[in-house]
Amino acid sequence: MSEYRKWTLASHPVGVPDRDCFALVPCAFDDIEAGEVLIKVDYFSLDPGMRGRLSGDSYAAGLKIGDTIESAGVGTILASKSEKFAPGDVVSGALGWSEAVVHRDRGLKKIEQGLLSEKLSATAFIGVLGVPGLTAWFGLNDLGAPTQGDTLVISSAAGPVGATCGQLGKHLGLRVVGIAGGPKKCAYLSDLGFDEAIDHKAGTPLNAAIAAACPDGVNIFFDNVGAETLDAALVNMAPNGRIVVSGQVAEYNRENPIGIREVTRFITHRLRMEGLVVYDYAPKFSDAISQMAALINAGTLSYTEDIIDGIENAPDAYAGLFGGDNFGRRLIKT
């Protein structure tokens, strides 16, 4: 490859990022140096959690105008001046919204072909075995403190984090209730083994729908949405319930976030609420990935991908995440 294209930040968005916030820039390669590799990016992810960094500092430093949009990716090494990697190796890492990238050999993970199967693709390593799946794993197992028989409720349950969390919950012997938008997504949750699915678009007030699905209260609420959804769950929490804050997709594009209003129950029901940044668990990633890969190959854990062809479609596909357009982990195939 002599030229490639990448998306950079053209302006800091207000509200849902539109196409004008991004610039598709043609680039030419410089020669790679010692310790570097040239990677053809085959797939990159679109992550709603990146929204905060487009406007300012978040869990990591905000992006500056002209910076490449960051994301996880899977790619094939075309050329190498590294002792760690050879041409033809398939790797995952922070490759960005780009068709290719020159990358230091640090921070890349070689995907061993022997790990792949009909049930486990290379893209799983930036999905169910990447940040989304690991967020579900550590959020549930560590912060959720699950006990067999607990009732687990998950918002945005048909997304990659929520769907993984629900299946892990069933594996642990929990009663799992998912909140999703529309009959198709609710049917998907049923296919995954969720005990009940709540359609938040059906017209029933969400607090009443949760109460009907969880007559004994909610022991663990795994929150990917925030705002009104969080309040609806809070009034249904059981004593000593745990709220795991994984994401706040309903708040990311608001200039004035709604936040939490139903706080009295924290006192009366002795609730605990805690958020996580999955990178804090990095020393434990390898063990978690091995365990989840075994569950996938055993048929206990499955995943869905929403793959869109063409790097030029990335901004519109990204904006669609905030309207619930995606079904599963949304990826761009370059």
Q: How far apart are CA 327 and CA 304, in angstroms?
A: 7
pLDDT of 58 strictly over 80: no
pLDDT of 27 strictly over 80: yes
Q: How far apart are CA 97 and CA 332, in angstroms?
A: 9
What is the band of 329 on the pLDDT scale with cuts at 50, 70, 90?
Answer: very high
Q: In this structure, which amino acid lies at residue 217?
A: G
What is the band of 115 on the pLDDT scale with cuts at 50, 70, 90?
Answer: confident
Q: What token pair was written down for 5?
A: 């294209």
| pLDDT the model gives residue 253 | 87
To the nearest whole percent, how much of the chain has pLDDT over 90?
A: 88
Where along the chain do its domains lie?
3-126+304-333, 131-279
| pLDDT the model gives residue 1 | 61
- CATH ID of 131-279, from 2.40.30.10, 1.10.3720.10, 3.40.50.720, 3.30.2320.30: 3.40.50.720
| pLDDT the model gives residue 320 | 94
178-224 pLDDT, tens per residue? 999 999 999 999 999 999 999 999 999 999 999 999 999 999 999 99
| pLDDT the model gives residue 193 | 97
In order, the DSSP letters of 209-262 are HHHHH-TT-EEEEEESS-HHHHHHHHTTEEEEEEEEE---TTTTT-SS------
Give which of 204, 190, 268, 194 is closest to 232, Cα–Cα: 204
| pLDDT the model gives residue 31 | 87
pLDDT of 311 strictly over 70: yes
Report the pLDDT averaged over residues 297-315: 96
**Which has the higher per-residue pLDDT, 303 or 253?**
303
CATH number of 3-126+304-333: 3.90.180.10
Mean pLDDT (the chain) is 95
What is the band of 270 on the pLDDT scale with cuts at 50, 70, 90?
Answer: very high
pLDDT of 229 strictly over 70: yes
Which residues, including other chains, have CB under 8 Å from residue 287's CB and lie 6 or more apart? Answer: none
74-94 pLDDT, tens per residue? 999 999 999 999 999 999 999
Report the pLDDT averaged over residues 226-236: 97
Q: What does pTM read for this prediction?
A: 0.90
pLDDT of 57 strictly over 90: no
Report the pLDDT averaged over residues 99-105: 96
Four-residue CA torsion sign, 325, 327, 331, 332: negative
